[in-house]
Structure 1
Amino acid sequence: MIRVLIADDHPVVRAGYQRLLEQAGDIRVVADANDGQEAYLAWVEHQPDVMVTDLSMPSGGMELIRRVCQRKADARLLVFSMHDGAMLVRRALEAGARGYIPKSSPPECLVDGVRALHAGRRYLAPELPAELLQRDPLDETERLATLSAREFEVFRRLALGESAAQCAQALNLSAKTVSNHQTAIKEKLGVATSAALVHLAIRHRVIESGPV
């Protein structure tokens, strides 16, 4: 039996994932969590075979991947996200995820992905282009690739319209640390304003649209 942990900030979504996975017959959901911190603690406690996680949730899905992989390099983490932008997929894989499935994928992809990771294989949803695993030679993309995992999470949150204070609280950082990250991010990306940062994030599908 494949033991799975589900991390998503929507209870109805978690319940749907659980029904879908357990209907497969060889998968059992041993725990679920509604944010990155809760998911990390649940992962430590239950040591599941596979963790299925969203990226857009409190405490940060990308940060969750990083923390888990720091503790166990061969952890089997499967991202199931509404976002399918190339840069975000690459960043998740670089952070340590072993699979990525957009939520627009057919339901059976989630079962296939869990089974693949449990078997020691990597998994990308069939509709994701193979070139997602290749380096994009565009200068702007190369600049994005220079961001550290923490800088990228700060960049994504700022682009979504979070204030520095909100970002600091969500990531358990000081306001000064976030401010320093913000300065470094703008320098690395070659942007001078918050609006330019948002436009860059939209162009590379790090976010789906600007702040609301």
Structure 2
Amino acid sequence: MTVRVLLTDDQPLVRAGLRVLMADAPDLEVVGEAGTGAEAVRLVKDARPDVVVMDLRMPGMDGIEATRIITGSGAARVLVLTTFDDDDHVYSSLRAGASGFLVKDMALEDILAAIRVVAAGDALIAPSVTRRLIEEFAARPRPASARRMPDGITARECEVLTLVGRGMSNAEIAAHLFISPATVKAHVARLFTKLGARDRVHLVIMAYETGLVSPPRRPCT
């Protein structure tokens, strides 16, 4: 199945580079380009992409607001492509509904792979990038009212959520807890249901918001 992609970035060279790269990928099709968030919102209705590759810093409507509108309507999934080291809006973009984010210095082949992952309904949040994201979270003041962990979350599920929030993959969690990867996958699936999370990205956000991965750390009890 061909994945329909809308490229959104205020830098024409970035869009051109991605378009050229995707021209050699038979399963990816660029169905439109936008230079602003407002233009992306308009084009989504006409071009009907499966995935919107979204920059965050753009004139007028930024990528965060555009992401919120697009994902809120269910029109497409959004994959943020930004400069993580100097962009403090990544967390807001995930809360707005983005299925993941990439940094612009990633290999182009990895960007294509990420688009496929998001189009398949999964989230893209590489463990190494997650760890950097958590460092950003930890450096920020705690929210005035942290989210309370819902009732019904077991101690083991709390442990798994903590490790997901620290950026560990299922295989790494399995090795850390001395359980099988299949068992980890089952715990993660139950966390999706109990927490109402759309994907792994939002589990990371919840781990942060409940205090599991930023000081002071709340113990699993």
Taking the aligned partners of 1:7 and 1:80, their CA distance within structure 2 comes to 9
> Once the two structures are superposed, what CA deviation does each residue of 1:119-154 show, in whole Å capped at 9, x if it has no partner?
1110024540347379946661436x99xxxxxxxx
Q: In structure 2, do the counterparts of structure 1 residues 125 and 136 end up closer, same or farther at CA, with 3 Å as the change threshold?
A: closer
For the pair shown, which has the larger CA radius of gyration, 1 or 2?
Answer: 2
Taking the aligned partners of 1:137 and 1:56, their CA distance within structure 2 comes to 23
Whether the aligned pair in 2 keeps the contact of 1:109 and 1:125 (CA below 8 Å) is no
Taking the aligned partners of 1:139 and 1:35, their CA distance within structure 2 comes to 29
Residue 81 of structure 1, CA deviation? 0.7
Counterpart AA for 2:29: R
Map of 2:165 onto structure 1? none
User: TM-score by structure 2 length?
Assistant: 0.58
Counterpart AA for 1:121: D
Map of 2:129 onto structure 1? 128
Unaligned runs of 5+ in 2: 148-221
Alignment RMSD: 2.9
Whether the aligned pair in 1 keeps the contact of 2:48 and 2:76 (CA below 8 Å) is no
2:143 aligns to what SS in structure 1? Answer: helix
Residue 10 of structure 1, CA deviation? 1.3
Map of 2:214 onto structure 1? none
Map of 1:96 onto structure 2? 97
Q: In structure 2, do the counterparts of structure 1 residues 36 and 126 end up closer, same or farther at CA, with 3 Å as the change threshold?
A: same
Q: In structure 2, do the counterparts of structure 1 residues 120 and 139 end up closer, same or farther at CA, with 3 Å as the change threshold?
A: closer
- Residues paired across the two proteins, number: 145
Counterpart AA for 2:117: A
Counterpart AA for 2:56: L
Whether the aligned pair in 2 keeps the contact of 1:4 and 1:31 (CA below 8 Å) is yes
Unaligned runs of 5+ in 1: 147-212
Taking the aligned partners of 1:21 and 1:15, their CA distance within structure 2 comes to 10
Taking the aligned partners of 1:65 and 1:8, their CA distance within structure 2 comes to 13
Taking the aligned partners of 1:55 and 1:135, their CA distance within structure 2 comes to 17
Map of 2:112 onto structure 1? 111
Map of 2:66 onto structure 1? 64
Map of 1:82 onto structure 2? 83
Taking the aligned partners of 1:11 and 1:86, their CA distance within structure 2 comes to 20
Residue 6 of structure 1, CA deviation? 0.3
